[in-house]
Structure 1
Amino acid sequence: MAHPALPAWPYPRWIAHRGAGKLAPENTLAAFRLGAEHGYRMFECDAKLSRDGVLFLLHDATLERTTNGRGTAGDQDWQALAQLDAGGWHSRRHAGEPLPTLENLARWCLANGFYLNIEIKPTPGTEEATGHAVGALAARLWQGQAVPPLLSSFRPEALAGARAAAPHLPRGLLLDTLWDGCLDVAAQLECAAVICNHALWDAALVARVQGAGRRALSYTVNDDWAAQRLIDLGTDGIITDRVDLFSPAAG
């Protein structure tokens, strides 16, 4: 049963991490299409700014792990980034898959009625600017839509930038550890959700977060036992790589 202090929450419980987890090259449109084929209706992605101000999908600060490029991604212009192969590292099937812009993914989600969690993943030193850019783009693209994207980040400065650009869009503070004052920061930023490493949640923390009117979400949950524990705790959302294991229709 939902906590009486909690506002309405329009998002499904199950969220596909970076599109389809590890089944396709992360943060590519191929991955999001594959996640949708497995029945997922909500997706998580990572967004950062190119040097010339284009928002694109990439998790790491550097290009080497998931593209054939080199160096810090945010130091390069979009024209160069758009030429990179973001799929060949994963499998021959996906060789040549490009980096998408955040707008590419947003328009795909909107066309299909899907929900999106945009993790603001700034190049170090660009936290506020990246958050502001994500907020502004999301506000423009989702204008008039019933369900906006959820904007999340580990960096409070990025969430502050998003709030300045689009105060009406819901925000989530990501936590890998429970650092001193983290829940106070979530309150100051008027976050709708706290998104923790799944191992951090226990009954007391869930009660504290939900009692403050915020939703309790988890990343990255890839085992049955972990998912069941979070469901039993009454948490509100599960981000997973295992789109092939967990049925999003299970509730």
Structure 2
Amino acid sequence: MNVGTARPPIWSYWIVLPGLMMVWAMTAGYLGSPLLPGPMEVLDTLVRESSSGQLWMHLGATLSRVILAFSLAMLLGTAIGLVLGRSRTFNALFDPLLVLMLNLPALVTIILMYVWFGLVEAAAVMAVVVNKIPNVAVTVREGARSLDYRLEQMASVYRFSLWQRLRDVWMPQLFPYLMVATRGGLALIWKIVLVVELLGRSNGVGFQLHMAFQVFDVSAILAYSLAFIAVVQLIELAILQPLENRSSRWRQPESVHA
């Protein structure tokens, strides 16, 4: 059994999450402070915001930014990673810039985008994309460096076009690296999007967190945070984990029956 790639079963969530809820409820009841509302109070806020339509409007705004920024970052980062991984010249030229971008704080990028382009939607999305592209590029570059040269020779013998090489030779080998970039990218991008919304947008979960912070409404802060975490977790369970299992299926040996 390949325990290195095994992920916790779904039923483990039904054990851990109720346990965390119980600890939360007991702690909130013991403290009796408005700074730590209990689960039922947060649920009431969640239901109220959902019924008014505010929750869905702001969730939709944030999710649309996440999807757009994620798609652009993955496309551009993958292309850059392939070029750097396949060309020593380009890698030598642009590796210092890549290292610089990896170490540039996200907050600095966000502020610069807003200063240069104004408090507009394009600047918000661009700030997120610029922060994520280097991470994708580095991951894909490592995958491009590890491509099997024997398959490259086969592609040359059969005179594969660039599209055929990409589809039939490179992508199957790069798929595990792309999954690493995808899962890490989603976890990073939605957090950056919240900061972008907090600093310069008039809608979205980040904006609502900012408004709740102004009046110390901890219940609203937790309600919106948990709602979006639930959406991201649903994407993880319904899309990313099945894709990851598919990417690692070839590594698992066939079952041997007695």
User: What's the TM-score once normalised by structure 2's chain length?
Assistant: 0.27
Which has the higher relative contact order, 1 or 2, with Cα contacts under 8 A spaced 6 or more apart?
Answer: 2
